[in-house]
Amino acid sequence: MRALVVLTLLAVLVVAATSYESHESMESHEYLNPFLNRRRANDFIQADSRLRAITQERIRERSKSHQEHQRELCEDYYPCEMYAFRHGYAAAYKHYFGGRRRTK
């Protein structure tokens, strides 16, 4: 009999703990209107974080590696690009632009 009372009391406590709705869950009012207004849809993204991301992208564009600069220079010169398809960009850059300055 005593075990039955303890089990009943535990069952009541479990039901009370799982069915309790806190004030925090009621204040969002999502249960009334789950859809956002168009103007408020992007409020969670901070404007300065978007600006910071754009700035970081611009910095990455300006600070390219030495090999990337060489590859872009080689891609702009058609014979170098054709040579690069066969032997690689490092060898093509060295063949066409390495060591000496080209004059027009």
- DSSP state, 102? -
Q: What is the pLDDT of residue 20?
A: 67
What is the C-alpha end-to-end distance of the chain, expressed in Å?
Answer: 105
Q: Would you give per-residue pLDDT tens digits along the chain (104 residues)?
A: 888 899 999 998 888 777 766 656 555 556 666 677 767 766 666 666 677 777 887 777 677 788 888 888 888 899 999 999 999 988 999 999 885 555 55
Domain ranges for the chain, please list them: 65-99
Residue 57: partners with Cβ closer than 8 Å, 6 or more residues away: none
Rounded Cα distance between 45 and 47, Å, is 6
Q: What is the pLDDT of residue 26?
A: 58
Which CA distances in Å does 6 have to 15, 16, 20, 52? 14, 15, 21, 59
Note the pTM of the prediction, 2 decimals: 0.38
Cβ atoms < 10 Å from Cβ of 104: 2
